[in-house]
């Protein structure tokens, strides 16, 4: 395998990594605030892609508008879903597990009945392919990389530098102590949940033109996001970012040598090894 | 006098009885026979299941419109129960059990994906349920499966027809890469292509053979691996519609300029919708041709037109093959004047030839499978140009 092929694999992995970051970040935020795992998270990624399919693919609205509507829609849905459903299952792993599985099926089946089961494609947003030294990458993929990087930077700045971001971190670390400091944990949790879902719908919206859009597309991705969150450290946002990049690059480069069934086996073996050797993940705390 | 009167009354009574009998026959109720149809209606192969369902629906509506089909002394109309297999083996076993034991069907007209057909056959064969399908698995037919029939030509029929044409008309194709799903129909398709090249003595070398999980969305690494071997032609072999479309799209992104072919491609419309017309440009195939093409039989063109009117989407060969299957099964019922699935299956084999919308369909496949359970009909080699399939040549199957 020559160097150009390896770089080609890495470029594909980088795009996957960008998508994984957006989805896993949302999952990690939800876990850090509510201490629950939202199995329906991947369905919101799918909803983002479906909204983009209708707005950009069918109605011909600009792609940026479709992405924006998806992200805002994801945020609004996040507020509603958290308030109506997840709020009463705070730190209730089993209850939230059952609830999120139910939500997964409701969302998937509702979309299937309206959108249909058949995968649909979207046209390119930016036609053309960049070729450098035997490596090709489409402008669509470059766009996903760039937007992904900008969003991660903005989310990081938001979490690290703003009052709301600090409040999210405080509630994630210690809910009671945060409340004693005058932070409203209920509001922060609702906001964080909505932010997580907005990131998922945004990711789905971005990948629409790269892959096909279908009701089942969130299923595998949410499993990958769990792997990332566990390897990164449950609830650790920097850990999720690092693990997502590593997983994307690993899939891109290892995919040059093994098929994707073997890849999945290797990924789960690595996950099992992490759980045995370093259960708190790359950057997780011992309590998490 | 009394004797004469008795004769007159007897004759009148007989005439009345005969009239009543005849009237009774005319007024005999048309019976509805429930059939089963299964297939993937979700996931990457969803277009196949939906086409099977629609092909069956159109046949049933046509029969209803002409008042039923006479089988023995009874007229039958048909309805079917459709279940989504999701392309999954476990789900297929579940829905087949439901069809056979809950819905009580004795005929299942349609399924796709080889491994799921195996799962269904584990239930249909022991229960003598006649099962027609479009699955490409090699082991789906054989003497041990007397109730099973394949309505679409399989890879062992398509590959020799197609590769003979490729060798004659694309002589620059000397090296070939095969990309297929890692399941039975995927592997059987690639094996059939390699066998055809070998058996026909063609000067084409298979330089790469890759497999993937159905539903994969990112193929860049796999394709990079394939392109390292510099193949003159890449055949997407047994890839389902959604996966193959993404492969074409990503091949274009990687700048591949060689010949592309897709032996199992059955429906170009969703392929072009997903991959774009440019990515599909120049693609060769044998089963995704436009059924309204001038090279197609008039009956098929008529079917395609009515299908499009009814469902708002172009008909595919899968839909036509399932319609033809229904025609063959019901013609066999009419011939044997029976609805016993085993007798109907035997009648199909013994009759050997049926008139359908595909034209004259021969029942063959003995040389390949050891049993005459394969429906055979001519196909068209086509090329994708500007987002539509353009027929290039008519190719005949080997009996």
Per the domain annotation, does B195 fall within a domain?
yes
Q: Is the CB of B224 less than 8 angstroms away from the CB of A117?
A: no
Per the domain annotation, does B24 fall within a domain?
no
The confidence score (pLDDT) of residue B19 equals 46
Per the domain annotation, does B395 fall within a domain?
no
Per the domain annotation, does B25 fall within a domain?
no
Q: Does residue B224 belong to the interface with chain A, where contact is any CB pair within 8 Å?
A: yes
Average pLDDT of A214-241? 88
The confidence score (pLDDT) of residue B23 equals 42
The confidence score (pLDDT) of residue B38 equals 97
Are B280 and B161 within one domain? yes
Are B230 and B261 within one domain? yes
Are B161 and B149 within one domain? no
The confidence score (pLDDT) of residue A248 equals 94
Beta carbons within 8 Å of A64's beta carbon, 6+ residues apart: none
Q: Comparing A116-120, A203-207, B1-5, B311-315, which segment has the lowest mean pLDDT? A: B1-5
The confidence score (pLDDT) of residue A73 equals 96
- Report the phi/psi class of residue A123: left, alpha or beta, with left for phi > 0 and alpha for psi in -120 to 50: beta
**Chain A CB contacts of B313 below 8 Å:** none
Own/partner contacts of B102-105, CB < 8 Å, gap of 24 or more, are: B103/B34, B103/B36, B104/B34, B105/B34, B105/B35, B105/B36, B105/B81, B105/B129
* pTM of the model as a whole: 0.78
CATH number where B343 lies: 3.40.50.2300
Cβ atoms of B109 and B325 closer than 8 Å: yes
The confidence score (pLDDT) of residue B154 equals 86
Q: Is the CB of A117 less than 8 angstroms away from the CB of B50?
A: yes
The beta-carbon neighbor of B274 closest among A8, A120, A216 is A120
Are B327 and B301 within one domain? yes
Q: Select the residue from B217, B221, B312 to test the A interface by mutation, using most A Cβ atoms within 10 A.
A: B221
The beta-carbon neighbor of A9 closest among B211, B224, B242 is B224
Q: How many domains does chain B have?
A: 2
Last residue of a domain, one of B269, B286, B303: B286
Are B129 and B184 within one domain? no
The confidence score (pLDDT) of residue A121 equals 79
Are B109 and B145 within one domain? yes
The beta-carbon neighbor of A123 closest among B220, B252, B276 is B276
Per the domain annotation, does B385 fall within a domain?
no
Q: Does residue B92 belong to the interface with chain A, where contact is any CB pair within 8 Å?
A: no
Q: B119 lies in which domain range?
A: 31-153+295-377
Q: Is the CB of A136 less than 8 angstroms away from the CB of B246?
A: no
Cα(B61)–Cα(B172) distance, integer angstroms: 48
Are B173 and B121 within one domain? no
Last residue of a domain, one of B239, B269, B286: B286
Q: Is the CB of B275 less than 8 angstroms away from the CB of A220?
A: no
**Chain B CB contacts of A13 below 8 Å:** 221
Average pLDDT of A94-121? 85
The confidence score (pLDDT) of residue A167 equals 93
Are B71 and B88 within one domain? yes
Are B40 and B143 within one domain? yes
Are B167 and B178 within one domain? yes
Q: How far is B360 from chain A (nearest CA, A)?
A: 32
The confidence score (pLDDT) of residue A106 equals 93
Per the domain annotation, does B38 fall within a domain?
yes
Last residue of a domain, one of B286, B316, B346: B286
Per the domain annotation, does B11 fall within a domain?
no
Cβ atoms of B397 and B161 closer than 8 Å: yes
The confidence score (pLDDT) of residue B27 equals 47
Q: Does residue B215 belong to the interface with chain A, where contact is any CB pair within 8 Å?
A: yes
**Structure tokens belonging to residue A247:** 């997983």
The confidence score (pLDDT) of residue B79 equals 97
Per the domain annotation, does B241 fall within a domain?
yes
Q: Is the CB of A8 less than 8 angstroms away from the CB of B224?
A: yes
pLDDT per position in chain B (399 positions), as tens? 455 555 555 555 445 444 444 444 444 578 999 999 999 887 667 888 999 999 999 999 999 999 999 999 999 999 999 999 988 888 899 999 999 999 999 999 999 887 889 999 999 999 999 999 998 878 899 999 999 999 998 889 999 999 999 999 999 999 999 999 988 878 989 999 999 999 999 999 999 999 998 878 899 999 999 999 999 999 999 998 888 999 999 999 898 989 999 998 887 887 887 888 889 999 999 988 889 888 899 999 999 999 999 999 889 899 999 999 999 999 999 999 999 999 999 999 999 999 999 999 999 999 889 999 999 999 999 999 999 889 999 998 876
Are B180 and B261 within one domain? yes
Are B173 and B89 within one domain? no
The confidence score (pLDDT) of residue A124 equals 85
């Amino acid at each position: 395998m020559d160097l150009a092929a390896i770089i080609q694999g890495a470029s594909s992995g980088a795009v996957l990594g960008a998508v994984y970051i957006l989805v896993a970040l949302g999952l990690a935020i939800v876990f850090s605030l509510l201490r629950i795992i939202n199995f329906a998270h991947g369905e919101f990624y799918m909803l983002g892609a479906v909204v983009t399919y209708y707005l950009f693919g069918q109605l011909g609205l600009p792609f940026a508008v479709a992405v924006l509507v998806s992200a805002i829609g994801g945020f609004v849905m996040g507020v509603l879903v958290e308030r109506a459903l997840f709020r009463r299952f705070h730190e209730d792993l089993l209850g939230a597990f059952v609830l999120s599985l139910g939500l997964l099926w409701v969302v998937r089946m509702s979309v299937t009945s309206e959108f249909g089961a058949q995968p649909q494609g979207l046209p390119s947003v930016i036609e053309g392919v960049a070729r450098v030294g035997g490596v090709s990458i489409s402008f669509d993929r470059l766009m996903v990389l760039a937007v992904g990087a900008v969003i991660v930077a903005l989310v990081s700045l938001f979490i690290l530098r703003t009052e709301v971001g600090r409040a999210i971190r405080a509630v994630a670390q210690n809910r009671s102590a945060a409340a004693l400091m005058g932070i409203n944990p209920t509001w922060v949790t609702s906001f964080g949940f909505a932010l997580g879902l907005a990131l998922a719908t945004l990711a789905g919206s971005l990948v629409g033109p790269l892959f096909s859009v279908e009701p089942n597309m969130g299923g595998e991705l949410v499993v990958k996001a769990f792997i990332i969150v566990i390897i990164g450290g449950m609830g650790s946002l920097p850990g999720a970012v690092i693990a997502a990049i590593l997983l994307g690059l690993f899939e891109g480069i290892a995919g040059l040598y093994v098929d994707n069934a073997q890849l999945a086996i290797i990924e789960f073996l690595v996950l099992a090894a992490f759980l045995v050797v370093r259960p708190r993940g790359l950057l997780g705390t011992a309590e998490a | 006098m009394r004797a004469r009167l008795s004769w007159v009354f007897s004759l009148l009574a007989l005439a009345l009885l005969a009239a009543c009998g005849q009237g009774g026959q005319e007024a005999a109720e048309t019976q509805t026979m429930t059939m089963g149809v299964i297939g993937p209606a979700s996931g990457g192969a969803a277009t196949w299941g939906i086409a099977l369902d629609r092909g069956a629906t159109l046949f049933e509506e046509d029969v209803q419109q002409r008042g039923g089909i006479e089988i023995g002394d009874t007229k039958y109309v048909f309805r079917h129960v459709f279940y989504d297999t999701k392309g999954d083996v476990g789900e297929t076993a579940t829905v087949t059990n439901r069809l056979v034991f809950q819905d009580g069907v004795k005929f299942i007209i349609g399924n796709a994906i080889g491994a799921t057909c195996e799962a269904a056959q584990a239930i249909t064969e022991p229960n003598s349920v006649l099962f027609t399908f479009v699955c490409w698995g090699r082991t789906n037919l054989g003497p041990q499966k007397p109730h099973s029939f394949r309505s679409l030509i399989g890879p062992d029929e398509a590959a020799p027809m197609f590769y003979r044409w490729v060798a004659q008309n694309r002589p620059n194709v000397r090296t070939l890469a095969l990309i297929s799903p890692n399941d039975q129909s995927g592997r059987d398709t690639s094996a059939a292509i390699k066998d055809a090249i070998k058996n026909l003595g063609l000067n084409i070398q298979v330089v790469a053979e890759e497999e993937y999980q159905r539903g994969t969305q990112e193929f860049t690494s796999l394709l990079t691996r394939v392109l390292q071997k510099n193949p003159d032609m890449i055949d997407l072999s047994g890839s389902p519609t959604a996966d193959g479309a993404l492969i074409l799209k990503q091949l274009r992104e990687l700048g591949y300029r060689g010949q592309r072919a897709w032996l199992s491609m059955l429906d170009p419309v969703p392929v072009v919708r997903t991959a774009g017309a440019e990515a599909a440009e120049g693609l060769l195939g044998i089963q995704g041709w436009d059924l309204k093409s001038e090279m197609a039989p008039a009956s098929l063109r008529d079917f395609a037109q009515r299908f499009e009117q009814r469902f708002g989407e172009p008909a595919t060969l899968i839909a036509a093959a399932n319609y033809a299957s229904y025609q063959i099964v019901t013609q066999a019922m009419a011939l044997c004047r029976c609805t016993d699935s085993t007798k109907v299956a035997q009648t199909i084999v013994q009759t050997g030839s049926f008139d359908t919308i595909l034209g004259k369909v021969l029942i063959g496949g003995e040389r390949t499978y050891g049993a005459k359970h394969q429906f055979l009909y001519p196909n068209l080699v086509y090329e994708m140009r500007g987002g539509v399939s353009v027929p290039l040549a008519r190719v005949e199957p080997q009996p």
